[in-house]
Structure 1
Amino acid sequence: MSQDLKNKVIAYLLALEKTDWDAARAMCDETATVWHNDGKGDETLEQYFEGLKKQIGLYESIRYDIIRQLSQPGGVLQQHVVRVTAKTGERGGVHAAVHFAFNDAGLIIRIEAYANYIPEGQTS
């Protein structure tokens, strides 16, 4: 079961890379909530996808490089770097630790993400 959840997270991230919003959203429960370290509190799924579309729209390309995945029943904790290339050519990475919680049907019910953008060539 834990490998199945890890694979679901990978499929979800691949859908985001392809900007396949319908596929990504289909992997989430309608009541799913999202938290980011931006101080704004929880977002609804609708707010989350609106923000993703705007953010990802700034980039020429994005790619998720998974560093590690840890799982337990009902959840996956993952560390990854989102490699981004802006339309201006600037490159960087969004370093993130994300927890994905799943319901019994295998749908994402909660995403909690701590992320930090670092331009290419700089260190944290």
Structure 2
Amino acid sequence: MTIEELADRFFMAIEAGDGGTVRAMYADDAVIWHNEDRTTQTVDENLRVLRWLSRTVAALRYRDIHRIVHDGGFVQQHVLTGVLTDGTELSIPAALFVTVTDGMICRIDEYADSAHLGPLYAIAARGRAARMQ
């Protein structure tokens, strides 16, 4: 599979909520870093977030995709869109720098426009508050 095919399959799996396919594309020791909280996730932590995203956002889609493939991976700029469970429309501009080794995703550095993450944070906070009651 080419890097371009890997990238297409990866984002299609996320849109479909197919965690098994996403997991199979990650190297066992892959790490995923996010600019908004400057933390690094393990594969399992990232899959938990993606499962939550799949449950929380309907019609999850990557739009306006601009991708540059190179020997060690790819860079992708996109807008993540969808509709939250409360009806709020979501539109998050982001860019990912993805390192690929031996056909497996080894590292993702994700830069999301934090000004557009508020609706997701609000839904997450309501979920945490409900679990504490």
Aligned match of 1:113: 110
Can you list the C-alpha shifts for 1:63-90, whole angstroms capped at 9, x where unaligned? 1114311121111001011111112221
Deviation of 1:115 after TM superposition, in Å, equals 0.7
Residue 85 of structure 1 corresponds to 83
Alignment of 1:24-103 (within 5 A): 24-103=22-101
**Where does the alignment leave 5 or more consecutive residues of structure 1 unmatched?**
120-124
Rounded Cα–Cα distance in structure 1 between residues aligned with 2:54 and 2:108: 17
Return the letter of the residue paired with 1:76: F
Q: Secondary structure at the match of 2:103?
A: coil
Tell me the number of residue pairs that the alignment of Structure 1 and Structure 2 aligns.
116
- Which digits, 9 at most, give the CA deviation of each residue in 1:4-25, with x for residues without a partner? 2122111101001111100111
- TM-score, with normalisation over the residues of structure 2? 0.79
Amino acid at match of 2:71: P
Identity score, percent? 27
Q: CA deviation at 1:57?
A: 1.8
8 Å CA contact 2:32, 2:108 repeated in 1: yes
Higher strand share: 1
Question: In 2 relative to 1, CA 66–11 (structure 1 residues): closer, same or farther, beyond 3 Å?
Answer: farther
Where do 5+ consecutive residues of structure 2 fail to align?
119-133
Q: In structure 2, what is the Cα distance between the partners aligned to 1:50 and 1:63?
A: 18
Hey, which of these two has a bigger chunk of helix by percent? 2
CA distance in 1, matches of 2:52, 2:106: 22
Distance 2:38 2:68 in 1: 27
Give the 3-state SS of the residue equivalent to 2:110 in structure 1.
strand
Asked whether the equivalents of residues 17 and 50 of structure 2 are also in contact (C-alpha less than 8 Å), the reply is: no
For the aligned residue pairs, the C-alpha RMSD in angstroms reads: 1.8
CA distance in 2, matches of 1:35, 1:58: 21
